């Protein structure tokens, strides 16, 4: 048990040191709609659901969407028109867009011109 948790902590520490930098934020100084996803996944691996949600609200729905997509390829879960995938894709896109607008509103909404 101790060796498993130590190896997991080592993996998390390694992940934190190897996060992919955001080119959009590097060039503009503004967060992109995906900023926070990597840190959110690390919080999720640590088991901190609340921190994961606050860092990037779409993390859990996106992971579930990818798992469903893989299961659909293997087991052919969706029909020919891919109604379920399209619906879940739209929901995920809405979550990303709404959370990004809220984040930008909090960062830049109170700035007076």
CA gap 112, 49 in Å, rounded: 35
Please report whether residue 57 resides in a domain.
yes
Rounded mean pLDDT, 9-19: 90
Domain that holds residue 89: 2-108
Mean pLDDT of all residues in the chain?
89
Rounded mean pLDDT, 3-15: 77
Q: For position 108, what pLDDT does the model report?
A: 79
Please report whether residue 113 resides in a domain.
no
CA gap 77, 40 in Å, rounded: 28
For residue 113, pLDDT beyond 80: no
For residue 95, pLDDT beyond 90: yes
Select the more confidently predicted residue: 111 or 58.
58
Residue 20 Cα distances to 37, 47, 48, 86, angstroms: 11, 21, 21, 28
Number of structural domains (the chain) is: 1
* pLDDT classification of 56: cutoffs 50, 70, 90: very high
Q: Give start and end residues of each alpha helix (H) in the chain.
A: 2-17, 23-28, 37-46, 49-55, 59-75, 83-108
The structure tokens 């990303």 sit at 96
For residue 5, pLDDT beyond 80: no
Please report whether residue 51 resides in a domain.
yes
The structure tokens 């879960």 sit at 77
Percentage of the chain exceeding pLDDT 90: 70
Please report whether residue 64 resides in a domain.
yes
């Amino acid at each position: 048990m101790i060796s498993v948790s130590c190896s997991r902590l080592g993996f998390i520490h390694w992940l934190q040191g190897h996060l992919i930098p955001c080119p959009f934020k590097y060039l503009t100084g503004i967060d992109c709609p995906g900023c926070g996803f990597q840190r959110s996944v690390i919080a999720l691996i640590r088991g901190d659901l609340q921190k994961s949600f606050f860092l990037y609200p779409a993390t859990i729905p996106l992971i579930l969407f990818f798992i469903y997509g893989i299961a659909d390829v293997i087991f052919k879960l969706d029909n020919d028109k891919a109604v379920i995938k399209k619906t879940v894709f739209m929901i995920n896109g809405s979550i990303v867009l709404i959370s990004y607008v809220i984040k930008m509103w909090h960062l830049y909404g109170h700035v007076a011109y």
